[in-house]
Amino acid sequence: MTSVLPTGTSKPAASGAQRVGVLLVNLGTPDTADAPGVRVYLKEFLSDARVIEDQGLVWKLILNGIILRRRPRTKALDYRKIWNNEKNESPLKTITRSQAEKLADALADRTHVVVDWAMRYGNPSIRAGVEALIAQGCDRILAVPLYPQYSASTSATVCDEVFRVLSRLRAQPTLRVTPPYYDDEAYIEALAASIDGHLATLTFKPELIVASFHGMPQSYVDKGDPYQDHCIATTNALRRRLGMDETKLLLTFQSRFGNDEWLQPYTDKTMERLAREGVRRIAVVTPGFAADCLETLEEIAQENAEIFKHNGGEQFAAIPCLNDSDAGMDVIRTLVLRELQGWI
* CB under 8 A, 24+ apart: contacts of 199-204: 199/283, 199/317, 199/319, 202/283, 202/317, 204/281, 204/315, 204/317
Helix (H, G, I), strand (E, B) or coil at 181: coil
CB atoms within 10 A of CB 304: 25
Structural domains in the chain, CATH included, are 19-29+90-180 (3.40.50.1400), 35-82 (no CATH), 185-318 (3.40.50.1400)
- Give the pLDDT band (50/70/90) at residue 79: very high
Q: Give residue 344's pLDDT.
A: 87
Other residues' Cβ atoms within 10 Å of the Cβ of residue 343: 16
pLDDT at 17: 53
Give the contacts of 129 (CB within 8 A, at least 6 positions apart).
Answer: 7, 23, 25, 116, 117, 118
pLDDT, residue 214, reads 98
189 has pLDDT over 80: yes
| Averaged pLDDT, 309-313 | 98
Q: Binning pLDDT at 50, 70 and 90, where does residue 4 land? A: low
What local confidence, expressed as pLDDT, does residue 111 receive? 86
Least confidently predicted of 14-28, 133-147, 283-297: 14-28
Q: Which of 145, 136, 91, 89 is nearest to 117 (CA)?
A: 145
pLDDT at res. 9: 40
Percentage with pLDDT > 70 across the chain: 95
